[in-house]
């Protein structure tokens, strides 16, 4: 009630966190709502089980997690994705971490890094990877443009 905490709906749970005065600005609220709407529309169109946008520090900007991913485990997942991606790139001299695809028996995880964000898509095992990759790249560019426009206003 004092405006010192904020929450994010993640599945059937709420992820609470303290907010700084800078996070309460109108621009931040508009950006969050805009990202949430974009993600929900994208998830429905791409038939995903979950989707998240994370900043360079690993903090979620918006997330709709699958039921099997607990919000408290999501931070660890993001850290591992960054660590594996960046370390693999360093060891193989591939210059830049762009994408990781992890396939399991019951689904896939696609992590795509573009500009200032990491997009994480959770899909069913039969989801076609080519179109998902193409759509994720386009969405990442769109989100980066939105974030840049908001920073410049």
- pLDDT of 77 over the 60 cut: yes
Long-range contacts of 137-143 (CB under 8 A, 24+ apart): 137/112, 139/38, 139/42, 140/112, 140/114, 140/115, 141/114, 141/115, 142/38, 143/35, 143/38, 143/53, 143/117, 143/119
Average pLDDT on 6-25 reads 57
Q: Mean pLDDT in the chain?
A: 80
List the end-to-end C-alpha distance of the chain, in Å, as a whole number.
28
- The continuous run of DSSP H or E covering 101 comes out as strand 99-103
Domains and CATH numbers, the chain: 26-151 (3.30.450.30)
Average pLDDT on 92-103 reads 88
pLDDT in tens, 101-122: 999 999 999 999 998 888 999 9
- pLDDT of 27 over the 60 cut: no
d(CA 60, CA 76): 12
The residues near 54 (Cβ < 8 Å, ≥ 6 apart) are: 60, 61, 63, 78, 117, 118, 119, 120
């Amino acid at each position: 009630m004092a405006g010192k905490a904020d929450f994010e709906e993640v599945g059937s749970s709420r992820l609470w966190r303290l907010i700084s005065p800078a996070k309460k600005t109108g621009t931040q609220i508009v950006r969050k709502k805009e990202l949430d709407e974009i993600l929900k529309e994208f998830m429905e169109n791409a038939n995903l089980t979950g989707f998240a946008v994370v900043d360079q520090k690993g903090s979620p900007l918006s997330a709709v997690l699958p039921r099997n991913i607990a919000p408290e485990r999501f931070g660890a997942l993001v850290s591992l994705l960054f660590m594996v991606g960046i370390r693999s790139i360093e060891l193989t001299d591939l210059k830049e971490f762009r994408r990781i695809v992890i396939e399991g028996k019951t689904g896939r995880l696609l992590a795509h890094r573009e500009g200032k964000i990491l997009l994480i898509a959770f899909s069913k095992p039969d989801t076609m990877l080519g179109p998902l990759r193409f759509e994720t790249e386009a969405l990442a560019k769109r989100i980066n443009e939105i974030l840049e426009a908001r920073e410049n206003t």
